[in-house]
Amino acid sequence: MKTNALGKYRPYLHFAPQKNWMNDPNGLIFFEGEYHLFYQYHPNSSVWGPMHWGHAVSKDLIDWEELDIALYPDEHGMIFSGSAVVDWENTTGFFPNVPGLVAIFTYHLNGEAEEEITQTQGIAYSNDRGRTWVKYEGNPVIASESKVDFRDPKVFWNKEAKNWMMVLATGQTISFYSSPNLIDWKFESEFGEGIGLHTGVWECPDLFQLQVTDMNEKKWVLLVSVGDNPEFETGSQTQYFVGEFDGRTFKPDHDTIHLLDFGKDNYAGVSFSDIPQIDGRRIYLGWMSNWRYANEVPTNGWRSQMTLPRELSLQKIGREYYVNQLPVKEIESYFSIDSAIDSEVSYENGTRTYPVGNPFVDCSINIERVNAQQFEVTVNHSKDESTKIAIDYNTSVVRLVRKDSGVIDFSSNFIDDQLVKVGNINELNLRIIIDSSSIELFINEGQYALTSLVYPDHACESISFSSIDGSVVLRDGYIAKPSEDHLNE
């Protein structure tokens, strides 16, 4: 087995910076054959500090090459989160010859006194595929109004209205702005008061349209991350709304709370801009951490990693619409099937263990309950370390238990179980992607996602399946190991 030369806990399949601190993904965009991942970055320390935009590029969304820092703080402040677009029609006037990239981001300025914080929106442009950037001389392009929290612009071209739209987090609401040229912005509307989850400040919004699976219908999805608040157990998490957007205002179809992920470790995620129409996917990735303990996780010299990029889709169940997510198909070439998990196997109060011993794993099983009260998948990281995924048939809850998963004592909150209540628990598909320090669980083809960090000595020595008080049948499952190409890289 290849040893991870880059240091303990460093992921193989997930992006992590070589050194120092990272948080939110920023400026996700596809341009001229490359995916760009910019990110909140502190180049001088492995804890949060003055924010820059770090930069990496990839041809396949999995294998990333880290490049030089893209944006540095200046007299207007640190560079907080934001987005990027291709200005195809030269609406800005920055690209008289060929189209280029524009980054739209928040400037965060600390005044003399601690309470004197100003957040404004700035732009910068690049003529060389994102390698170097020129800040617009008229920055900031949107000055903060009365709100202190005024950040994380996500911009897209609205085809119908033929203008740019910005969604901006403004305290515990989302504000919508429009512009003909990315420079002059007009306030359109504000959404969020009295609806959704308000346990913390709203951050990192995204707005996009998705086709409803198997239906002749499209809906708008508004993602909103909700910041950590010590008064609540959950830490930071992400919610979404599904509804209509008429180019000026957003109206949700529901007043229920929808969480994007039931694990603790998926925050501030947004989607890629300018994915070619012929591809047509809505690809998303999040920061795989939680503000509750992000600065304390036990990595050395580097901190934080992103989730796997995921393809989003929308499913109508009953009268409501739900976002589904699955890892992008590009990860398939990183795996080859190792063990097929036999169909028609039942476990009468038994445990069956499959040896693995690989640095990263993709496992999928279909579980049909016969009469078991519980079923457990145990990821045995090493002799003494394991993470359990437990299905409780009486409560319809799937629970990820990481209390024995390795190092957990850096935060009192890390030990808590993570759980999701699922519909139709008697027939489940679990897809489990294990990397050096994470487990991403996708239930029923991505209907529910649960993303969780773990800090074991090894990724996975073996996987066990146990049924408790009765039996289940496993069908068409597999455990996939790294493909030869990727194991020997």
Minimum separation from the CB atom of position 232 to ligand FRU (A): 16
Q: Could you tell me the end-to-end alpha-carbon distance of the chain, in angstroms, rounded to an integer?
A: 12
φ, ψ of residue 357 in degrees (nearest 5): 65, 35
Q: What angle do CA 101, 104, 108 make, to 5 degrees?
A: 145
φ, ψ of residue 485 in degrees (nearest 5): -55, -40
Q: Between 203 and 265, whose beta carbon lies closer to ligand FRU?
A: 203
Minimum separation from the CB atom of position 228 to ligand FRU (A): 9
CB contact at 8 A, 393 and 272: no
Minimum separation from the CB atom of position 85 to ligand FRU (A): 18
Other CB atoms within 10 A of residue 115 CB: 8
Hey, is 487 helix, strand or coil? helix
Q: What is the DSSP string of 49-94?
A: -S-EEEEEEESSSSSEEEEEEEE--BTTBEEEEEEEEE-TT-SSSS
What is the residue type of 427? E
Q: Between 289 and 436, whose beta carbon lies closer to ligand FRU?
A: 289
Strand 448-453 relative to strand 283-287: parallel, antiparallel, unpaired?
Answer: unpaired
HSE of 345, CA atoms in CB hemisphere, 13 A: 18
Q: Between 119 and 444, whose beta carbon lies closer to ligand FRU?
A: 119
Neighbour-count burial for 262-272, b at 16+ CB within 10 Å, e otherwise:
bbbbbbbbbbb
* Annotation says 253 is catalytic: no
Q: Between 77 and 456, whose beta carbon lies closer to ligand FRU?
A: 77
Q: Which residues form the interface with ligand FRU (CB under 6 A)?
A: 23-24, 40, 51, 80-81, 106, 151-152, 203-204, 268
Q: Tokens 């993602």 correspond to what residue?
A: 223
Rounded Cα distance between 128 and 272, Å, is 19
Minimum separation from the CB atom of position 241 to ligand FRU (A): 18
Minimum separation from the CB atom of position 37 to ligand FRU (A): 15
Q: Between 196 and 482, whose beta carbon lies closer to ligand FRU?
A: 196
Q: Between 200 and 406, whose beta carbon lies closer to ligand FRU?
A: 200
* Active-site option among 24, 87, 206, 265: 24
Q: Between 204 and 312, whose beta carbon lies closer to ligand FRU?
A: 204
Question: Among 162, 101, 157, which residue's Cα sits nearest to residue 130?
Answer: 101
Minimum separation from the CB atom of position 202 to ligand FRU (A): 9
Rounded Cα distance between 9 and 288, Å, is 13
Question: Among 217, 210, 246, which residue's Cα sits nearest to residue 323?
Answer: 210
Instruction: Locate 387 and state its tokens.
Output: 């993470």
Minimum separation from the CB atom of position 180 to ligand FRU (A): 26
Residues known to be catalytic: 24
